[in-house]
Amino acid sequence: MLIVFFDINGIVMTEWVPEGQTVNQHYYSTVLATLRESVRKKRSILWKNKSWILHQDNAPAHNALSVKRYLAA
């Protein structure tokens, strides 16, 4: 499975999920940590202005309390 994060300017980050890996709250949190670094490097103006937005669906990993806390930090 491929996870893709993008904006109007193009792809910000891709993440290949290893075969057999479940995308649970722990795995998703590590992906989000990598995404933050990618946004900081590739979209530095958005990062500095704190004006980037993450849109996600209601998958269980996205709604986990630990993920919500991570994103709020």
Tell me phi and psi for residue 41, to 5 degrees: -80, -45
- The answer to whether 5 and 11 have CB atoms below 8 angstroms apart is yes
Longest dimension (CA), the chain: 38
Number of structural domains found in the chain: 1
User: Which pLDDT value is given to residue 52?
Assistant: 87
**Tokens at residue 63, please?**
């709604």
pTM for this structure? 0.85
- What is the domain range of residue 38? 2-72
Cα–Cα distance for residue pair 55/3, rounded to 1 Å: 13
User: How confident is the model at residue 73, as a pLDDT?
Assistant: 85
Tell me what pLDDT residue 7 has: 93
What per-residue confidence (pLDDT) applies to 23?
A: 96
pLDDT for 39 equals 95
pLDDT digits (tens, 9 = 90+) for 30-69: 999 999 999 999 999 999 998 888 999 989 999 999 999 9
Residue carrying the six token digits 């806390």: 69
